[in-house]
Structure 1
């Protein structure tokens, strides 16, 4: 950590000690545990642990503290997250897990639809699918945003060919514009080789910042590229905003389909509709002779979608051009719209647009 980061952390800690909570009038630090204060390139994240019974009463203080930190010299953006803790209790016999109360997410202001792109496991090309679907929707004339929710492994800057930092206006971040999209990623805020060694509350705070402190403006669709798995980020998204629906990406092989099945079940539990399943890397096409090889098998995602009662959205072939263009920051949908790969992405994007009732370019 740099000396500048150390100085900023010390300033934040002094500020925390000076605030008094709304419900008790006592020093905030007297009833709240500071789990962590992290600073990186002017981005500050504070995690406060508080007794569960006091959490609601401290929401106003949380917002006040967050605003005050934002105004400190050297701070570009700040997020304060409250987490609840309980006193240790004696061991109890195992009990059936109670179903948590249903979350009450609200629409994201100015955004007509939020579409989550998910997978049960990594390495299935989910980010490539997210980028090309978003670009394909934008090329229809729609206003499209792309949010990289994979905080640990952000890949959008490389795939979009954009590595500049977002502008900060007040307490709002201005998304990066590329290929007709408005995009936000942790990769725009940190160096490409930086390791994000963050705990769950800090990750959830970053997702909340991307949802609430980015100036998305008026969008027809916000595509959210989720990390692999079924963890904190997926749960945070489902609880913070109203998600219109999810798209599940899998390869045809059995091991990927098992994890895709878990992703489907997770979205069902949090009551997010599923638009369907995409089979990525469906078949390999030799660029020299055109021979087709089923490296990961073929048709597994279609069969799994049928078993789960879900729509099969389509197949995307494993093409060398898709990989080359992704690494070069030129999505194949924009760089080679007449290619086989681009046409596969566009066909799925057309299906999504129809499901979202976005069949004509947005006005304005």
Structure 2
């Protein structure tokens, strides 16, 4: 008498059942994308691996559920189904042209003006991708105001290994910054050619190793360094950070225009300091007197909104939509985020219990999705050689 364990399907049956199951971000069939791997079949059992394009995939749970539903509905009933979710970051550009061997994706983080939290967002992106399990480097190209070492609590000087520079490591990141080479109060006074030389060394003379993502914190504005980077290596794309007020949005639009003029893909815009969450602050720091003070000043709007929009509301989202740039999310003005950066413990802002974690991780996951989309739309090109 046959039982359920006698049910046998083939690998072809499994792949056929999964045809039409798509990655929601990429809009492509998982089978066609080569994301279904290690299919194993046996009596009463099917096991397979779904290999995502980034460990920071925001829709990992949905993809797993879609795969399971397709298998259960299209294969014979009674099968034991085992799904293993893994990730392998795809890349192109620098890793494949040899500019930075081993680096799959290079992402520049810029802003049209200073004071919008660009370095904090660059470091948060790097730390968030690292928290998801990716191999990440963080390069501080803001040579006039190198704040990355302080934000992540890194110190010391890079060491030399042969003709290469060994990056400093902190919080699980590989780091390079002018801040490691200067005295604390020393000013950087240099012109374009010197900046170009420093960027070349940071990119090509640093032993970055194998990285899924190299995040580059650019100086604010539209000066020499973004131009040098765009001319030096194929960037995966750029992120523009801004705050909601109109004067910041005007400068952010110039940054977007600069990247487009340099033919650097726009991966998205981040609205930093989007709002102040009154109740979150009260829960974290306030007591009865603080609550009375806030309520007495009528900080809540007519609808009872507990968020105070100090710099305006939704400006970056509207600007991103108008300029056809992906919007990566809002990051609120948060005391904990500021304090952890000041203490050199920005990694704590992305850990459990942090009031900033949800917003920052949301930005990180949307950015990782945009990188995967960009790499899919612009596949690797063959390297051509001209022979005499």
Residue 331 (structure 1) aligned to one of 346, 352, 359: 346
Give yes or no for contact 1:135–1:333 (8 Å, CA) kept in 2. Answer: no
Residue 195 of structure 1 is matched in structure 2 by: 187
TM-score w.r.t. the length of structure 1 is 0.67
| Cα shift readout 1:321-348 (whole Å, capped 9, x = no counterpart) | 1110001011155564332312111111
Unaligned runs of 5+ in 2: 1-96, 283-290, 295-305, 374-388
Distance 2:246 2:239 in 1: 19
Q: CA RMSD in A?
A: 1.7
Residue 313 of structure 2 is matched in structure 1 by: 298
Distance 1:245 1:221 in 2: 11
| Cα shift readout 1:167-190 (whole Å, capped 9, x = no counterpart) | 111221111111111011000111
Residue 135 of structure 1 is matched in structure 2 by: 127
**1:205 is the counterpart of 2:197:** yes
Structure 1 outlier segments of 4+, above 6 Å: none
Q: What is the DSSP-based 3-state SS (H/G/I as helix, E as strand, rest coil) of the residue aligned with 2:269? A: strand
Distance 2:230 2:178 in 1: 20
Residue 308 (structure 1) aligned to one of 307, 311, 323: 323
Name whichever of 204-213 and 349-358 sits farther off: 349-358
Residue 256 of structure 2 is matched in structure 1 by: 264
Residue 169 (structure 2) aligned to one of 177, 189, 195: 177
Residue 371 of structure 2 is matched in structure 1 by: 356
Residue 249 of structure 1 is matched in structure 2 by: 241
Unaligned runs of 5+ in 1: 1-104, 359-364
Residue 274 of structure 2 is matched in structure 1 by: 282
Residue 209 of structure 2 is matched in structure 1 by: 217
Give yes or no for contact 2:152–2:347 (8 Å, CA) kept in 1. Answer: no
| Cα shift readout 1:51-95 (whole Å, capped 9, x = no counterpart) | xxxxxxxxxxxxxxxxxxxxxxxxxxxxxxxxxxxxxxxxxxxxx
Aligned residues: 254
Distance 1:115 1:143 in 2: 14
Distance 2:355 2:252 in 1: 25
**1:344 is the counterpart of 2:336:** no
Structure number, greater radius of gyration: 2
